[in-house]
Chain A
Amino acid sequence: TQLLEQSPQFLSIQEGENLTVYCNSSSVFSSLQWYRQEPGEGPVLLVTVVTGGEVKKLKRLTFQFGDARKDSSLHITAAQPGDTGLYLCAGVVTNAGKSTFGDGTTLTVKP
């Protein structure tokens, strides 16, 4: 059973469109991270959210942590081809000591 479910699994859009991807769980997380991974490379940390209801912005990316700290979303405004990649969410369950990853959303932005 996957601890973190990400949806959609694949997303292909045109440059300039907006999109939202989701990360859901039945577990409560002390913190949740979003990473972006390119083929043949390791994931790169984008953001960490800690407080329920927290919203963080990183240029055109907006991250939200659910009030109950069980889910999160990533919204991208005016997507660009450079946003193409695998978006992974990862969470730390209280006292677990390690991050557990979802299977990611593969985003393709076409010029």
Chain B
Amino acid sequence: DAKTTQPTSMDCAEGRAANLPCNHSTISGNEYVYWYRQIHSQGPQYIIHGLKNNETNEMASLIITEDRKSSTLILPHATLRDTAVYYCIVRGGGFGNEKLTFGTGTRLTIIP
């Protein structure tokens, strides 16, 4: 699986957009980009995923660069409940790609 690089921590003011970057320069053509978050002492929660195109759901938007070597997770209007560790992961889909490795992620703190 491609390795990802994320900043260790970030702050964002409540109500503003939180933009979390992720570098995955060794990503291969069939690998998806996934984002999860983990609120303290809970299980990780799936946020969004994408392959090539930008994606949006009720939680967030995912912007993937044209060369796919980096991506940005956008929380459009951050609230205090968005304080969590955010994990960016890349891996292939389909059979034989069951292993999923989580790094240390980005600790996002929303400031009142």
Q: A and B: real partners? A: no
- Measuring CB to CB, which residues of chain B are less than 8 angstroms from any residue of chain A? none
- Measuring CB to CB, which residues of chain A are less than 8 angstroms from any residue of chain B? none
